[in-house]
Amino acid sequence: MKTLTRRLFLSALAATLLLGTAGALAAGGIQDDGAFFSEFAKVNATGTITDVSTRLHKDITVQTFASVPEDMKSTVLHSDKAATNRGFTQWAEQLARSKKVNGVFIMLVKEPAHLQVVVGTDTQRQAFTLSDRATLVQRMLGQLKQKKNDDALIDAVNFIFETMNSHRSGVATSFGSKTPAAQQDSSSWLSVIVIVVLIWLGFSLIRGLFRAMSGGCGGVNNMGQPYGGMGGGGGFLQNLMGSMFGVAAGMWMYDHFMGTHSYGARPVDPANTDGGGFTGTDTDYTSSGGSFGDDSGGDFGGGGDF
């Protein structure tokens, strides 16, 4: 029963996400007409594709086919392997151009088994280079040949995201002499010292105010007790209140003087914020790919071993 419920939940979740992206496939998404992937893999990959779009302003579009459409057979299917590869190249780049993909387009065909990865010429200059594309093709072909289709999809979108994010971070930090990790280490010790000093100053200030209000007169009443009604200038309650207000005052001072105005002082990666993505739009494309089936073209099931 639990297994059935889990499958129904994943199917419903996948349907919701895929329906939400189906109408905007040209701007990134997965169209699995060739039934290559499991629903879980598509949901997982869709989340990464969305991150790439919102954070880096680039598209990852994946489209699969069970076979070559009738109108493309004369272009793609040839007895000569080189001519077939040229046909797949032409077809994939034509699809990327028609969808106006601004990033990476991955095309998979089940029969004959073929992978083609298209990258826009503007994307190649900064976000995802020709060397990156070659690495992606080799990784995917290795997994597809082992019939690990889900692995190929999830690893591909993660590799694209990490690579683009790395290139973007390199551009953003090239103006400084320190790496983000070094800057974080040096600033963390300064933050601790500043917090301690400001809390101590805040505590001293509040304690002084309590002493002035409760024990400033220094006189005694008829019972021989100091004025102020708190005994000895406030005792435990005074110290407790002073500590609480001191900590609050110190943290307030740190927040305003250091200019963080937040609970954390972690450095912000420009690639992980709106407006920190790549600029430019792809208008032309190049691609590379290869076969991952046997000599007869290969026949394998959808899904995978992820």
- For 120-151, the pLDDT digits (tens) are 999 999 999 999 999 999 999 999 999 999 99
The CATH number linked to 97 is 3.10.310.50
Residue with tokens 């003087």: 257
Extract the tokens encoding 206: 């509040």
Would you say residue 217 lies in a domain? Answer: yes
CB 297 within 8 A of CB 111: yes
Would you say residue 300 lies in a domain? Answer: no
Between CA 44 and CA 199 the distance in angstroms is 45
Same domain? For 134 and 282 the reply is yes
pLDDT confidence of residue 267:
37
∠ at Cα 37 (25, 278), nearest 5°?
40
Extract the tokens encoding 20: 């939400």
With bands split at pLDDT 50, 70 and 90, how would you rate the model's confidence at 246?
Answer: low
With bands split at pLDDT 50, 70 and 90, how would you rate the model's confidence at 275?
Answer: low
The β-bridge partners of 116 are 107, 289
With bands split at pLDDT 50, 70 and 90, how would you rate the model's confidence at 84?
Answer: very high
What's the chain's average pLDDT? 73
pLDDT confidence of residue 293:
85
Q: Radius of gyration over alpha carbons of the chain, in Å?
A: 31
The three-class DSSP label of residue 173 is: helix
Between CA 205 and CA 216 the distance in angstroms is 15
Would you say residue 159 lies in a domain? Answer: yes
Between CA 152 and CA 146 the distance in angstroms is 10
Between CA 113 and CA 290 the distance in angstroms is 9
Same domain? For 243 and 279 the reply is no
Same domain? For 52 and 101 the reply is yes
Would you say residue 303 lies in a domain? Answer: no
Same domain? For 157 and 220 the reply is no
Would you say residue 125 lies in a domain? Answer: yes
Same domain? For 14 and 146 the reply is yes
Same domain? For 27 and 147 the reply is yes
The β-bridge partners of 63 are 31, 107
* Domain assignment of residue 199, given as a range: 181-272
Q: What is the mean pLDDT of residues 98-107?
A: 97
Same domain? For 11 and 135 the reply is yes
Would you say residue 198 lies in a domain? Answer: yes
pLDDT confidence of residue 71:
96
With bands split at pLDDT 50, 70 and 90, how would you rate the model's confidence at 194?
Answer: low
Same domain? For 76 and 90 the reply is yes
Q: What is the mean pLDDT of residues 52-81?
A: 96
Residue with tokens 């994939």: 92
Would you say residue 301 lies in a domain? Answer: no
Same domain? For 103 and 78 the reply is yes
Q: What is the mean pLDDT of residues 28-55?
A: 96
pLDDT confidence of residue 277:
84
Same domain? For 185 and 149 the reply is no
Would you say residue 204 lies in a domain? Answer: yes
Strands 103-111 and 114-120: antiparallel
Bigger pLDDT: 116 or 180? 116
Q: Output the CA torsion 86→88→94→96 (10° steps).
A: -120
Residue burial 58-91, b: 16+ Cβ < 10 Å; e: rest? bbbbbbbbeebeeebeebbeeeeeeebbebbbeb
First to last CA, the chain: 23
Same domain? For 185 and 140 the reply is no
Same domain? For 70 and 94 the reply is yes
Q: Which of 23-27, 55-59, 75-79, 261-265 has the lowest mean pLDDT?
A: 261-265
Q: What is the mean pLDDT of residues 171-175?
A: 40
Q: Which of 97-106, 195-204, 230-239 has the lowest mean pLDDT?
A: 230-239
Q: What pTM did the predictor assign?
A: 0.59
What are the residues whose beta carbons fall under 8 Å from the beta carbon of 100, sequence distance 6 or more? 26, 27, 282
Number of domains into which the chain is organized: 2
Is cis: bond before 112, omega within 30 of 0? Answer: yes
pLDDT tens-digit readout, 217-234: 445 555 455 544 444 445
